[in-house]
Structure 1
Amino acid sequence: MMRHNLEQRGYRIETVPDGETALEFLETVRPDAAVLDWMLPGLSGVDLSRRIRNNVELRDLPLILLTARSDEHDTIRALDAGADDYLVKPCSIDTLDARLRALLRRHQSSYDVLSFADITLDPETHRVERAGRLLSLGPTEYKILDLLIRNPRKVFSREDLLLRIWGKNIHVEIRTIDVHIRRLRRAINGKDEIDLVRTVRAAGYALDDAPQVSGD
């Protein structure tokens, strides 16, 4: 019934029967948003939310969790697990539609072309340019630049970068960050151009256009 009603409002809907299948589906198809039931067979909606948020490719996926549970503690559990919104069943299709549209609007803003100094980054096409010159970045360097350009001049520690780029449950050596920062510098800084990646001793890294001596 929910699928039929949403399709009548212009959504293209795909359904899957359980949490494990849902995770495989999301990794393959990558929809605009996911609506999860708390009481899924096998992997629950809450556990699935956590798995999605710990997946580098899916962590920004908009999520709405549906459940018959109305206790405040359950709401907190759902949001802590990574759900963007939480609806108690039964809910009207008008309410679900409104929540979905609001969530998609917020998410769509993340596709605006980003810029800092003379660098531009298009999140939709993954095209990165500096002063009109197309740059070639590896996937990890792209993710680091995407984070830095959304937070100009903010200093991120190595621990922050590990958590945000790789997630909580993946073991990566802390110095791996330095390797990727060096690669990012080589990719974005041309001859006679200001080094836009600032090293803050004992603190971390930031995207900054202030003149500086290039770090490691």
Structure 2
Amino acid sequence: MKTTLLYVDDDDLKIDDFLSFLSNDFDITTQTNPLEALALINQGNVYDAIILDIMMPEMTGLELAKKIEENIHYNSCPIIFRSGYNDPDIAKEALTSSSREFLSSGIPLHEYSLRIKNKIEDNLKLIPLIEKGDLLLNQNQQRLRIKGDDVSISQTEFKILRFLIEKSGEIIPRDDVIKQVWGDDFYVTSNNFNTHVSNLRKKLDPSTYTILTYKGKGICFCKKGMER
């Protein structure tokens, strides 16, 4: 599975150059409009890193980064600024957290690949992995591995599974799971909730763990064969 990038730049020529050098190393989504890029985050799209130009119309890269970091769907991946402006004040403003990086557009593009990969690796070390038996949850990338194989999982399914693993062996009331995953102000129907749990249970089929439903009580993440 390729590393995924979101690259936002209002200059089509810069985007074309970026793609020509780096598309073999990364799965790259490009966007020329900062508002459209923010919409991709709002839709729950998850990336391994986000590359932002600084000087853009409607919204600067610095403003966009702040909105992304405040978004509930942001997965704490690195945000890397790519700019031809070598102003120290701009660089200082860009580097306000350990997950950020500032790279001059004067850096050769073949070097960008190494720098991006190194930043992603460094960022992963800051966010612990969750291991449970043959399951591995990567919290930064919001990915699931079962017995070493990647398993496709939605953002909502990831949140449900992470919460259930934290409460492993306990029967958790449905309302408690909904509150943890969706929040207090979000209404979730029983059918919607049950669909997510059913899909997740199917994806866990290769694992030695499963999700059990106890009518009138809730759901429980436990090892197969440990049914009560």
Q: TM tier, shorter chain? A: 0.5 to 0.7
Aligned-partner Cα distance in 1 for 2:54–2:107: 14
Deviation at 1:30, TM superposition (A): 2.2
> Which stretches in structure 1 are left out of the alignment for 5+ residues?
145-186, 189-216
Q: Kindly report which structure 2 residues correspond to 1:161-172, keeping only aligned pairs within 5 A, or say none.
A: none
1:27 aligned partner: 42
State the AA in 1 paired with 2:180: E
Q: What percentage of aligned pairs have identical amino acids?
A: 17
Aligned equivalents of 1:131, 1:39: Cα separation in 2 = 47
Q: 1:14 aligns with which of 26, 29, 51?
A: 29
Q: 2:130 aligns with which of 95, 113, 129?
A: 113
Question: How far apart, in 2, do the equivalents of 1:134 and 1:12 lie?
Answer: 40
Determine if contact 2:130/2:136 at 8 Å carries over to the other structure. Answer: yes
2:21–2:110 Cα contact (<8 Å) kept:
no
Hey, what's the Cα distance between the residues in 1 that align with 2:99 and 2:66?
9
Give the whole-Å Cα distance in 2 for the aligned partners of 1:92 and 1:140.
47
- Asked if 2 retains the 8 angstrom alpha-carbon contact of 1:53 and 1:60, the reply is yes
Deviation digits for residues 91-115 of structure 1, max 9, x if unmatched?
Answer: 1123311221122223444361168
Count of residues in Structure 1 that have an aligned counterpart in Structure 2: 142
Cα separation, partners in 2 of 1:74 and 1:81, compared to 1, 3 Å: farther
Name 1:214's counterpart in structure 2. none
Aligned match of 2:78 in 39, 57, 62? 62
CA RMSD of aligned residues (A): 3.4
Is 105-114 or 45-54 further displaced after alignment? 105-114
Residue aligned with 2:102, SS: strand
- After TM superposition, give the deviation of residue 14 of structure 1 in Å: 1.2
CA distance, structure 2, for counterparts of residue 55 and residue 80 of structure 1: 17
Distance 1:56 1:68, change over 3 A: same
Which residue of structure 2 aligns with residue 89 of structure 1? 105
Distance 1:121 1:96, change over 3 A: closer
Residues 43-192 of structure 1 mapped to structure 2, 5 A cutoff: 43-58=59-74, 60-80=76-96, 84-109=100-125, 110=127, 112-113=129-130, 122=137, 123=139, 124=143, 125-126=158-159, 127=161, 128-129=164-165, 130-133=167-170, 135=172, 137-138=176-177, 141=180
Instruction: Name stretches of at least 5 consecutive residues in structure 2 with no aligned partner.
Output: 1-16, 144-157, 184-218, 221-228
Q: State the alpha-carbon separation in 2 of the partners of residues 57 and 3 from structure 1.
A: 25
TM-score calculated relative to the size of structure 1: 0.54
- SS of the residue aligned with 1:113? strand
Q: Which has the higher strand share?
A: 2
